[in-house]
Structure 1
Amino acid sequence: MASVATTVKEQLLGAPDSSQLSHQSRANFLRHAQKDENGELFMTKENFIDAVAPKQEDYVSSTRKRPKHKIKREQYGILFNVADRRKTGQLNLADWATFENLLAKPDAEYEIAFRLFDFDGTGSVKFDAVQGLYNLNKSTDSIPFDWDSEWASLYGGRSKSRHDMTYPQFAQMLRGLQGERIRQAFHTFDKDGDGFIQPEEFQRIILETSKHKLSDHILENLPTLCNISTSNRISYANVRAFQNVMREMDIIDLVVREATKKSVDGKITRADFLDEAARITRFSQFTPMEADILFHFAGLDAPSGRLSQKDFAKVIDSSWRVPMMVAGQALSAGQEVAEKTKSVLHSVLESAHHFGLGSIAGAFGAFMVYPIDLVKTRLQNQRSSRPGERLYNNSIDCARKVIRNEGFTGLYSGVIPQLIGVAPEKAIKLTVNDLVRGFFTDKDTHRIKYYHELISGGAAGACQVVFTNPLEIVKIRLQVQGEIAKNVEGAPRRSALWIVKNLGLVGLYKGASACLLRDVPFSAIYFPTYAHLKSDFFGETATNKLGVIQLLTAGAIAGMPAAYLTTPCDVIKTRLQVEARKGDTKYNGLRHCASTIWKEEGMAAFFKGGPARIMRSSPQFGFTLAAYEVLQKALPMPGEGDSISPTGHIEPGLGGQSATAPLPYLRSRNALKLILDLDQNIGRVQVPRPENWPKFLQASK
């Protein structure tokens, strides 16, 4: 019961992205398990890999010419040895549950690595086991590593007096292992002992020790590290600074995010980075050389020195993939045409998807507030300013008289054509706003200027008039014919179809200028206000999603100023579109209507129905926008976020973006990164060394 209440609360009020639920873990097991002859469910090693390493994830680079830094899918089989606690070669549901529980621990990555090396389950790791696994996986041309070094003896004792390592000791040893491998490798290549190595030697060191943690962008540009100084070689200080940058990627990500938020254009300089780092961190200060290295690799494609989050993502995010280029050659003409065609097709499908969701959301919002809209229209259509001649005194009086004279269904007079028309109307408004806003949004910083927000909203309002005007004129005439029937004996009730035929195409766009005058400023006010309420007031971020109540509130609040400030335009539009009764003033146009209302009824007439308009527009757009965003989450466009553009790609859920991949995969991947610090070939299917080949193959050799 508590879980149901929690789920409902999170849906309504919003919550940060949470870990995967236990029932999802069970479902994951059932989805990948198979049955034995007794009907018992179990997982093989292959089933286990399918469960923790989704096939849709990217495990290798897409071209053979690039370094393959992604962890191979087969390497996730290493973790099967940890999950198979009974050593039967099969996992039952209890084994899977135990492994899932292990993944949920705060230090799961280190504990998984520890259990992998704790072969006997004694709660300690033998130093020889670590060395043995390293020797088993290293290739003949690997850079040598001295397991009898001073560093190794500090953790496991000297070679003649080795001792077992406890979990804390093992975890600390594993954390420092990569740095020691890099240090020893540097000494291997620094044959003359002057503290310098060649760029190609540095590249080999990093590729052999760290490529599973770095992006293509860094790996392919490693030799350029020598350019941060006047020397054409790389010093040990450069190597240590580079290693420190690698280890502080999470802190760098945080500093970059905060610094770019404070920047007007979303870009920062080296000085901005160091200033923000000083504010955020206490003891993890970045040295000048470390800052130089970070900005060197992040700024290779942006030599101006002002870098955006997208520039840093190429360094911070190990899953970042380079542009789709082969051996330095641009895409062929055929490939370019194919990519452009695919892009255009995707844009069309995306617009259609937005249009469909906007139609549903618009119809829902209109239905919820239609009675308020009817009351607003009846009030605005009153021509007399003398109390004795007014049919309605206020909004409540109007609603009461409609129900008394026409029944409750009278509040929904004309609702069917309204719903039919409002679907494309709201859909085109939401779609155009999204498209224009996306066009003006900076692709690097994901920011948009205020006046571009106004233009986006105004464009959406202008485009919707194509649907709005015919809809409004039919709706208004249906809404007021109830009061005509009461005042004029024998007055016929007209259908929506009759009104359309009687008006004709030109008549359906009567008052279109007034409609534009109302809808353009309304949308220009509404959409920017709504966006800033979500981000600035309710604190919506990539990881903090708003709930339905928050979305509804933001939409309703944004509708208040937009609705009231455009009421004069709405009054003019209504007067122009309503069929004048006998004795009523007839208006010849926009200017004539405005001046006549001013002369005959005064300034207050321009705000007739203003409160009712707020009561209608505010909740309507609240319902519409909340429904639209909920539908976008519930019914995302197929393949959204999976495309790779020719300008590079950041894999969703990794590095600089919020994690969306399954938790078992994320935890398992991080554990593998620690294990692969020992050797990148652990867990890979390898060809046996010649000395281990069968005798008949050795003979043929």
Structure 2
Amino acid sequence: METDSVVIAEQKDRDLEANALKDTINGSIAGAFGKLIEYPFDTVKVRMQTQDAKTFPTTWSCIKYTYKNEGILRGFFQGIGSPIFGASLENAVLFVSYNQCAQFLEKHAKVTSLQQTVISGAFAGACASLVLTPVELIKCKLQVSNLQNLQAGIKKPTKILPTIKLVLQERGVMGLWQGQSGTLIRETFGGVAWFSTYELLKNYLKSLHDDGRDSDTWELLVSGASAGLAFNASIFPADTLKSVMQTEHMGLLQSAKRVMAKSGVAGFYRGLGITLIRAAPANAAVFYTYETLSKLI
């Protein structure tokens, strides 16, 4: 009997390791695909967040300026290499940490299904923030650098490696984590909104099936899109602070004061419209790709 229990325990450990590997692979692919869809919208969002209303009165004015002066690839996709890598790593961390935490709670804690989702979502977001901060720091600098170069009459675009090197020279390794507090707040609360919305809506739509079949494609897409909307709508002010912290080298409170001084409360929501537009298809793609790959592998 003791031998049997040891064998069962070892098999469970192997299953956990296999599941973690699957989550890493599937999450990485899903994250890269979603980032490719959302990146042009993200460029506009960051520029709206970091520039005042005089530069870009509306989202459309930002889009027109970027296209006219920089084109599509250089303007909207500037610096995409770092975010593609970051999105792969982020989603790998998100799905691995979320599922591992959920399995731990299921085994060791007496919590409801909703409590399990909330706790696991917060934990996954907190873990992902450590990966995201340096990636988004470089991304934000590249997205804003083209604009600053144009305003200064410089046509040469900024590259990823020189930007990383400059940060390291000026602020050391820890300079890559400028804005970590903003990212931690955003991702912890955002992780709750993201996973909870997806799981609740997916399970609700699935419960409407009379034959007990798996979720349909449209249900996964709608659930993923809704999760993206919930995430971005709930944490957008924190995302604005994070962008200002990383592009202006400011602390959290100093960034908040700067936004308030320049644009008031509305300043915390500049770029929200374009963000919600990009969130629906990008997050639908992330969850659908992840779910599809999980069934195949």
Question: TM exceeds 0.5?
Answer: yes
1:613 maps to 275
- Report the residue type matching 2:259 in the other structure: I
2:253 maps to 591
Give the Cα separation in 1 of the matches to 2:85 and 2:262.
36
- Report the residue type matching 2:184 in the other structure: L
Equivalent of 1:520 in 177, 180, 188: 188
2:175 maps to 507
2:286 maps to 624
2:138 maps to 474
- Report the residue type matching 1:331 in the other structure: E
Residue 494 of structure 1: how far off its partner (Å): 2.6
Equivalent of 1:558 in 227, 230, 237: 227
Q: What is the aligned residue count? A: 290
* Structure 2 CA distance for partners of 1:363 and 1:427, relative to 1, 3 Å: same
Give the Cα separation in 2 of the matches to 1:546 and 1:476.
37
> Is the 8 Å Cα contact of residues 540 and 546 (structure 1) preserved in structure 2?
no
Equivalent of 1:400 in 61, 64, 70: 64
Give the Cα separation in 2 of the matches to 1:496 and 1:551.
35
1:331 maps to 2
Give the Cα separation in 2 of the matches to 1:527 and 1:535.
12
Give the Cα separation in 1 of the matches to 2:272 and 2:70.
24
1:361 maps to 30
Which structure's relative contact order is higher, taking Cα pairs within 8 Å and 6+ residues apart?
Answer: 2
- Report the residue type matching 1:489 in the other structure: G
> Is the 8 Å Cα contact of residues 193 and 234 (structure 2) preserved in structure 1?
no
Residue 492 of structure 1: how far off its partner (Å): 5.1
Give the Cα separation in 2 of the matches to 1:462 and 1:536.
27
> Is the 8 Å Cα contact of residues 357 and 632 (structure 1) preserved in structure 2?
yes
Give the Cα separation in 1 of the matches to 2:41 and 2:262.
27
Question: When the two structures are superposed, what TM-score results if normalisation uses the length of structure 2?
Answer: 0.90
Q: C-alpha offsets along residues 629-674 of structure 1, whole Å, 9 cap, x if unaligned?
A: 0111122xxxxxxxxxxxxxxxxxxxxxxxxxxxxxxxxxxxxxxx
Residue 600 of structure 1: how far off its partner (Å): 3.5
Q: C-alpha offsets along residues 48-67 of structure 1, whole Å, 9 cap, x if unaligned?
A: xxxxxxxxxxxxxxxxxxxx
Give the Cα separation in 2 of the matches to 1:602 and 1:429.
33
SS of the counterpart of 1:500? helix
2:93 maps to 428
- Report the residue type matching 1:485 in the other structure: N
Residue 441 of structure 1: how far off its partner (Å): 3.6
1:454 maps to 118
**Higher alpha-carbon Rg:** 1
Structure 2 residues without counterparts, runs of 5 or longer: none
- Report the residue type matching 2:274 in the other structure: A
> Is the 8 Å Cα contact of residues 37 and 282 (structure 2) preserved in structure 1?
yes
Q: C-alpha offsets along residues 332-382 of structure 1, whole Å, 9 cap, x if unaligned?
A: 3xx544443332232112101111010001100110111111111111111
Give the Cα separation in 2 of the matches to 1:431 and 1:609.
30
* Structure 2 CA distance for partners of 1:593 and 1:553, relative to 1, 3 Å: same
Percent of aligned positions that are identical: 26
Give the Cα separation in 1 of the matches to 2:66 and 2:293.
34
* Structure 2 CA distance for partners of 1:610 and 1:365, relative to 1, 3 Å: same
Equivalent of 2:296 in 634, 647, 655: 634
1:685 maps to none
1:437 maps to 102
1:324 maps to none
2:200 maps to 532
1:279 maps to none
Residue 614 of structure 1: how far off its partner (Å): 1.4
2:129 maps to 465
Question: When the two structures are superposed, what TM-score results if normalisation uses the length of structure 1?
Answer: 0.40
SS of the counterpart of 1:544? coil
1:415 maps to 80
User: Greater CA deviation, 566-575 or 602-611?
Assistant: 602-611
Residue 397 of structure 1: how far off its partner (Å): 2.2
Map of 1:122-141 to 2, 5 A cutoff? Answer: none
Map of 1:204-223 to 2, 5 A cutoff? Answer: none
- Report the residue type matching 2:221 in the other structure: L
SS of the counterpart of 1:354? helix
Give the Cα separation in 2 of the matches to 1:540 and 1:348.
34
* Structure 2 CA distance for partners of 1:634 and 1:514, relative to 1, 3 Å: same
> Is the 8 Å Cα contact of residues 146 and 158 (structure 2) preserved in structure 1?
no
* Structure 2 CA distance for partners of 1:403 and 1:596, relative to 1, 3 Å: closer
Give the Cα separation in 2 of the matches to 1:537 and 1:336.
39
Map of 1:129-528 to 2, 5 A cutoff? Answer: 330-332=1-3, 335-382=4-51, 384-385=52-53, 390-409=54-73, 410-441=75-106, 448-490=112-154, 493-504=157-168, 505-528=173-196
Runs of 4+ in 1 over 6 A off after TM superposition: none
SS of the counterpart of 1:545? coil
1:114 maps to none
